[in-house]
Amino acid sequence: MKEMLKNIENPADVSDQAAGFRGLSKKEKLDILEGLRHIKNNNIAAYLHLVYPDETDKEIRKRIRALLHKLKTAGIHTEEPKTTGEPVLRKKEEKRNHKGFMSNYDDFNTRVVISAYEIKQNHYILLNGTIHFTYGLVELLTAPVSKHDLEGIVRQYRNGTGNNMVFVDTAFQYAGFILEEESRKSGRYREEMSYARRSALHVKDPVQKPEYIYTLNIPVTTHTPDIDKILNHAIFAPFKLTWSSLEEDKKDFNDLGNSAIVLPPYMVEEKRQAFLKTLLEKDEFKAQVTYYEAYA
């Protein structure tokens, strides 16, 4: 909330800040307006004039009018808020080309996900995240970038991949969804992801969550390969499911058939099945299996 108030007080573009207000809940809107009570400058007046026309809640509209009156008594130029027509200072709507990119997992069980929100033509807010399969979002770089800079970043990632790595385009909203989900898993960068989500609420995209992929049209000529062939593809080669006692568990598993008493094969297999069942019940491993099933 402090970050939002700071951006409203000294915005790069007051229209972008106003767009973010429209996606907030009523409580969040009231909290923002309460925080603006103590700030008096022309940016606040412009911001309030932009958000008022689209607001339908009577309590919030009343609060906005009260703030505008307070600014006026403080000597800041304001006009009567408009209730119809185009709001004051609203800039012409532009079709924006938001972008998303993602890689598969590498040898260290990490992947890169990029969400690039176009704030104005050829200028983006970049979210460049590094995700660990087990721990979630472990690094996040946020920065304003030009289209040229964004293309350079994407080109570097693509040039650095080999036969078993890919870095592909994906839906902007889906990239943001992954970053937000992994932020919840790691407990890191929550404020940055919350602000990014609110700013992009108005963006329409056919793929926003994993299950939405099933709503996309598939060409009739598309051939679906067997699941075994898919999982044996080179891009899955770097991924290795790991846990803290992996080496010890491997040794114990291999030793099950090496006892002094020679056991029949079916008993060895029973012991191995029981061992694997116990392994799957470990809290550390159980959590990873859940993530593995979600991505498989």
Q: What's the average pLDDT block by block, 10 residues per block, for the chain (296 residues)?
A: 64 65 81 83 81 85 87 77 54 74 91 92 93 92 94 92 84 89 92 78 66 71 80 80 81 78 80 86 70 54
Q: What is the pTM of this model?
A: 0.57
pLDDT at 165: 85
Q: How far is CA 236 from the centre of its chain?
A: 23
CA angle (88 as vertex; 15, 196 as ends), nearest 5 = 15
DSSP state of 260: S
Reduced to 3 states (helix: H, G, I; strand: E, B; else coil), residue 268 is helix
pLDDT at 296: 46
**Phi/psi at 129 (5° precision):** -110, 145
The DSSP H or E segment spanning 115 is strand 110-120
pLDDT at 208: 64
Query: Which residue in this structure is represented by tokens 């790595």?
Result: 165
pLDDT at 154: 95
